[in-house]
Structure 1
């Protein structure tokens, strides 16, 4: 993907920001939230997402040793400074990313999980798509300059919410004020921690091309928000802007006790990347004003059998899905999630799969308990998702009835892939637990 210099400069020079109520999904504030920007070290949030996912699945532990290659050791600062041939624990790597934003440790973790940094970057992009981050692509694990590594404020807010919702057992690392490594005591680059009431993370970022970036989570008196600022002209201005956003919009956030109202969009752990194709992105107004071309924001080009989940969930409710799908999703037309030539053709099903022609997210002609395994913008892919889950789920889904629910998200129709036929909450939850053990992301709801 080639970007002209004028586009790079336009992207780098422009501010973008968003604040989202983390309990309802409501956008409280936004300014060019879907404009293409460079993530800088916010990239490490996705690196950590995949680390946390590997920890949760048991593939690695906090004590696992991460080897440091010559390539990782050669990354420019900020860095931890471990020599090639050395190693760190996974936990030390996490702490190094959160505090010093260590580029060498980001690369080491990427190579450890993906085999190579390039392959890990493909895994990152695949995961971004499964989380609904439609305008983000990764080319490295650390966020050092690469014109092909792009994102938006909305996508980074979505990732921030996913980190909070999916990994509460690990999210506390983002509030680490300092950690000791050898004789070093390393402080956190996030200057809002301990200064702004309620702020508990998440990540800072800076490169000359990206400007000063910050993703922030704050929670006070039962209210909770996530804010993202991209492209500030200095660290001080970035921090002041975020302070103002927290002060203004945190009091406007909901105090609802239903803290699961943000849908937990998750897919099965990424075991292998899919191919990445360059597909044109709609040009945002500021970039168009610069009379430049955005060549592409790559999206998944899936081969049959490679894409299992467009959006999947492990918890929440219909209201939750509606909240994040309709409010957090970019209103601008997004690139096609799957190329037309790569659509999976639906074979004859053993059970008929019906489509409820429902265009709202809150109504459903079916009753009782069901499980949802994913959401797709394409009906055939939703059907294929159900068939693959049925084949893999075996007796767990033998008596369940697959169906899809069509609903509108802005100008786009999406299809939820679901199974009904569960007698009560326990049977639905237990079925979902079994499915997750074999790599099928899901959530149960009534």
Structure 2
């Protein structure tokens, strides 16, 4: 195991160095986020950390933020505060969000079930904000709920500034915290989690493909979310199930989609092959 971990680190050293150059400008409000890739692999059933590198280093979540947005939507559905067929109205504020977006336009609407799908699959910023406003009356109040939930889940180094993950110095997290959120969704909302496995959704004449390219390509992968902004780099939290065992792998701050996908695929293989937790960093 140690020799294998060492080989992984050597192979990715050059990638991490390039990422450090690309991402060095990101500066959270309460301290500079470290550059270089952060990653962690967790066994969902036991909570064991199977591999970690810079797992507690501050990073920007980008659209991984929407995992928390959807978590609160799942809470509301479970508690009866929302129904799948209820309408979500897109306010002028929501309609004005930058891409990626569904583009319904101000005062348009869609069902909650459709809103959840386009946020999970297409990462639509306009619909994420519309959901936030529907649940809390404003995005600001919804963000307060996001941060309160993060604290309750034990996401010790996470702070959200919006419901989308769009660039904001106040959006910070860690690979370990994103893994914590991933596991919480899997365990507490198993009925809703399968939306992250949706390969594509149709909206009008458009086919919106899932940004998670590991679906259908890496054995057992069935979610959960990608993210990208210039300050964050390329992020992915992925979960896979094989033979009754489930693993979550999180990578934050890669330099490209291809590098991110390869890294996460390798981490999943590492996780399923691990017999004991690797040393934490």
TM bin, normalised by shorter chain, reads: 0.7 to 0.9
Give the equivalent residue in structure 2 for 1:25.
47
Distance 1:146 1:227 in 2: 25
Matched, 1:201 2:201: no
Give the equivalent residue in structure 2 for 1:171.
193
- Closer/same/farther in 2, CA of residues 58 and 162 from structure 1, 3 Å limit: same
Q: Secondary structure at the match of 1:225?
A: strand
Contact 1:223 1:253 in 2 (8 A): no
Q: Deviations over 1:260-294 (max 9, x none)?
A: xxxxxxxxxxxxxxxxxxxxxxxxxxxxxxxxxxx
Structure 2 gaps of 5+ residues are 1-23
State the shift of 1:5 in Å. Answer: 5.6
* CA RMSD across the alignment: 1.9
Give the equivalent residue in structure 2 for 1:214.
236
Give the equivalent residue in structure 1 for 2:3.
none
TM-score (norm 2): 0.87
Number of residue pairs the alignment of both structures matches: 254
Distance 1:10 1:207 in 2: 17
State the shift of 1:14 in Å. Answer: 1.8
Give the equivalent residue in structure 2 for 1:125.
147
Give the equivalent residue in structure 2 for 1:244.
266
Distance 1:54 1:140 in 2: 19
Give the equivalent residue in structure 2 for 1:392.
none
Matches within 5 A, 1:359-398: none
Q: Deviations over 1:101-130 (max 9, x none)?
A: 000000000011111001101100000001
Contact 1:13 1:211 in 2 (8 A): no
Contact 1:80 1:105 in 2 (8 A): yes
Give the equivalent residue in structure 2 for 1:224.
246
Structure 1 gaps of 5+ residues are 255-326, 333-446
Matches within 5 A, 1:348-367: none
Q: Secondary structure at the match of 1:125?
A: helix
Distance 2:127 2:26 in 1: 32
State the shift of 1:251 in Å. Answer: 2.7
Q: Deviations over 1:197-220 (max 9, x none)?
A: 000100000000000000010110
Question: Of 169, 183, 189, which residue of structure 1 is paired with 2:205?
Answer: 183
Give the equivalent residue in structure 1 for 2:60.
38
Matches within 5 A, 1:133-148: 133-148=155-170
Q: Secondary structure at the match of 1:169?
A: coil
Distance 2:27 2:77 in 1: 39
Q: Larger helix proportion, structure 1 or 2?
A: 2
State the shift of 1:253 in Å. Answer: 6.3
Contact 1:34 1:154 in 2 (8 A): yes
Matched, 1:91 2:113: yes
Q: Secondary structure at the match of 1:11?
A: coil
Give the equivalent residue in structure 1 for 2:100.
78
TM-score (norm 1): 0.55
State the shift of 1:12 in Å. Answer: 6.4
Give the equivalent residue in structure 2 for 1:162.
184
Moved more, 119-128 or 4-13: 4-13
Question: Of 152, 175, 194, which residue of structure 2 is paired with 1:153?
Answer: 175
Give the equivalent residue in structure 2 for 1:342.
none
Contact 1:225 1:253 in 2 (8 A): no
Q: Secondary structure at the match of 1:52?
A: helix
Contact 2:38 2:175 in 1 (8 A): yes
- Closer/same/farther in 2, CA of residues 31 and 227 from structure 1, 3 Å limit: same
Matched, 1:53 2:75: yes
